[in-house]
């Protein structure tokens, strides 16, 4: 929706997103495909249903502690870019840029590509041809050194990304309203899946006391934690669009905290439904968990209906990721650390339209590459280093900028951010030990941004 500006006023982003839009960004971007996939991997790591729930709770509390901390930062500095802004203020432009580089080049683009690929994967239930290659090349540059192939489904995934790019190009209010709608539909459908599972009368609570062979121990616990945190990832996204939230000092903390609490509740309930209907062994062997649960209860028709619900869930997460992620390159360009055109606000639609297009085009390239799963796994390690630094910035900024107006102060300070930092640090150390290749690749991908930072810095002001 276009908005009018006063005469002689340059285009700028407007605060048009209310509390419901902000909360739907939190819930909608967090609940994507993860909760339908990761319980299978998690139970294989911990072996015990009870321990699996402990992992879900610990990961949820950790995410909540992060949300409580981010709430102070976002309310005090409600500008586009989220962590880019906070890291810049606390440690200087280099660290802000490194976050922005990681987000644009790999993390957010990889997330968008992964979600779009997940969308077409579920669509293959109805259109199996999407799994077939449209083009096979002789070049051995595909994942795992395979031939580079382009599947019909990848083209569909790109089409979905570009459609949502168009939606978010023409107005943040349009994108925000779409986010509310699809998130509401998604939550209602997931609640329906939970209710059908729990009230079917065809399950058995004895499943919760069963065990299966697993990695176990501390290594298994933290491996499961990585999966759970991937499912919770995205609670921080609303901070990226802070400059377009109405009454940010009040609405941003509310959205972050209430949205994260809602996600924790939904995740725990749907896992109760999974393990009530299916045994731990059946969960561990499932590739489409919610669909398999419904198929177990009511056959293939019910499983197909769940596939539709999952696609709606992914669609909401995809829209939220594009809406929020496009504000990071916009913020970088505004500071002279990215292509200048990305900082332009559309004179009619009042959106960072060029930034939206750039992010979506690069995400489409990542979709075609077929490397999105590996890229996203590589960058989780680096992203958590930056999350840890962002949380520490609460302490840094309280000392560095004591007079900064803080409409909200972190509940439980300093214990809450300290616990978040401690667990995040332990998680990073565990990841280095258990997944050294992914950790080193994550650091390498972040380091690739260093020469680009000095390039843009040298051009700033020219």
pLDDT tens digits along 148-177: 788 899 999 999 999 999 999 998 889 899
User: Is pLDDT larger for residue 139 or for residue 448?
Assistant: 448
Query: Domain for residue 75, yes or no?
Result: yes
Q: 414-434: b or e for each residue (b if 16 or more CB lie within 10 Å)?
A: eebbbebbebbeebbebbeeb
Long-range interactions of 140-144: CB distance < 8 A, separation 24+: 142/370, 143/370, 143/371, 143/373, 143/374
Task: Evaluate if residue 339 carries a pLDDT over 50.
Answer: yes
pLDDT band of 83, cuts 50, 70, 90: very high
- What per-residue confidence (pLDDT) applies to 5? 46
pTM given for the model:
0.88
Task: Evaluate if residue 30 carries a pLDDT over 70.
Answer: yes
- What per-residue confidence (pLDDT) applies to 335? 94
Query: Domain for residue 251, yes or no?
Result: yes
pLDDT tens digits along 417-441: 999 999 889 888 887 887 788 788 8
How far apart CA 69 and CA 256 sit, in angstroms, is 10
What's the mean pLDDT when you consider all of the chain?
89
Closest by CA position to 131, among listed 166, 155, 160, 95: 155
Query: Domain for residue 384, yes or no?
Result: yes
- CATH code for the domain of 116: 1.20.1740.10
pLDDT tens digits along 243-266: 999 999 999 999 999 999 999 999
How far apart CA 37 and CA 184 sit, in angstroms, is 21
Give the sign of the dihedral formed by CA 73, CA 75, CA 76, CA 79.
positive
Closest by CA position to 56, among listed 73, 34, 75, 74: 34
Give the pLDDT mean for 355-363.
Answer: 96
User: Is pLDDT larger for residue 203 or for residue 381?
Assistant: 203
Query: Domain for residue 16, yes or no?
Result: no
Query: Domain for residue 3, yes or no?
Result: no
Query: Domain for residue 52, yes or no?
Result: yes
Give the pLDDT mean for 189-211.
Answer: 92
How far apart CA 130 and CA 154 sit, in angstroms, is 8
Give the pLDDT mean for 350-370.
Answer: 92
Number of domains in the chain: 1
How far apart CA 1 and CA 168 sit, in angstroms, is 10
- For helices 49-76 and 248-277, the axis angle rounded to 10 degrees is 170
Query: Domain for residue 14, yes or no?
Result: no
Query: Domain for residue 432, yes or no?
Result: yes
Long-range interactions of 342-347: CB distance < 8 A, separation 24+: 344/11, 345/10, 345/11, 345/12, 345/13, 346/11, 346/169, 347/5, 347/11
Domain of residue 180, residue span: 28-459
Element (H, E) at 74: helix 49-76
- Cβ–Cβ < 8 Å for 274, 293: yes
pLDDT tens digits along 206-238: 999 999 998 888 888 888 888 898 889 888 899
Measured CA to CA in angstroms, residue 274 lies from 23, 53, 202, 300, 455 at distances of: 26, 12, 12, 17, 51
pLDDT tens digits along 63-80: 999 999 999 999 999 998
Helix (H, G, I), strand (E, B), or coil: what is residue 147?
coil
pLDDT band of 7, cuts 50, 70, 90: very low
- Cβ–Cβ < 8 Å for 237, 265: no
How far apart CA 218 and CA 228 sit, in angstroms, is 15
């Amino acid at each position: 929706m276009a908005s009018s500006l006063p005469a002689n006023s340059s285009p700028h982003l407007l605060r048009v997103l209310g509390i419901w839009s902000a909360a739907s960004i939190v819930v909608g971007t967090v609940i994507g495909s993860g909760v339908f996939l990761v319980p299978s991997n998690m139970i294989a790591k911990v072996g015990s249903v009870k321990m699996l729930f402990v992992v879900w709770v610990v990961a949820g509390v950790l995410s909540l502690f992060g949300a409580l901390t981010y709430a102070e930062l976002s309310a005090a500095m409600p500008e586009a870019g989220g962590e880019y802004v906070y890291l810049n203020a606390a440690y200087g432009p280099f660290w802000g840029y490194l976050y922005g580089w990681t987000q644009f080049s790999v993390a957010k683009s990889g997330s968008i590509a992964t979600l779009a690929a997940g969308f077409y994967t579920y669509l293959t239930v109805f259109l199996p041809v999407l799994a077939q290659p449209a083009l096979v090349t002789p070049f051995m540059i595909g994942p795992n050194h395979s031939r580079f192939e382009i599947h019909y489904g990848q083209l569909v995934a790109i089409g979905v990304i570009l459609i949502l790019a168009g939606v978010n190009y023409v107005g943040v209010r349009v994108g925000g309203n779409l986010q509310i709608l699809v998130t509401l539909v998604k939550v209602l459908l997931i609640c329906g899946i939970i209710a059908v599972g729990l009230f079917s009368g065809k399950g058995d609570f004895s499943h919760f006391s069963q065990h299966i062979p697993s990695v176990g121990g501390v290594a298994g616990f933290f491996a499961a934690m990585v999966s759970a945190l991937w499912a919770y990832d995205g609670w921080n996204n609303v901070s990226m669009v802070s400059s377009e939230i109405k009454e940010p000092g009040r609405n941003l903390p509310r959205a972050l905290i209430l949205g994260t609490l809602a996600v924790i509740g939904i995740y725990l309930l749907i896992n109760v439904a999974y393990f009530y209907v299916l045994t731990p062994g059946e969960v561990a062997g499932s590739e489409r968990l919610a669909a398999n649960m419904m198929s177990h209860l009511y056959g293939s028709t019910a499983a197909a209906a769940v596939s539709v619900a999952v696609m709606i869930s992914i669609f909401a997460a995809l829209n939220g990721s594009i809406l929020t992620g496009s504000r990071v390159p916009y913020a970088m360009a505004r500071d002279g650390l990215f292509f200048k055109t990305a900082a332009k606000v559309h004179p009619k639609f009042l959106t960072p339209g060029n930034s939206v297009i750039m992010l979506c085009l690069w995400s489409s390239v990542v979709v075609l590459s077929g490397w999105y799963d590996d890229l996203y796994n590589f960058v989780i390690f680096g992203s958590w280093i930056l999350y840890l630094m962002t949380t520490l910035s609460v302490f840094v900024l309280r000392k560095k900028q004591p007079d900064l107006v803080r409409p909200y102060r972190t509940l439980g300070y300093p214990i809450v951010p300290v616990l978040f930092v401690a667990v995040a640090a332990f998680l990073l150390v565990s990841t280095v030990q258990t997944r050294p290749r992914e950790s080193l690749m994550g650091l390498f991908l972040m380091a690739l941004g260093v020469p680009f930072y000095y390039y843009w810095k040298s051009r700033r002001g020219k």
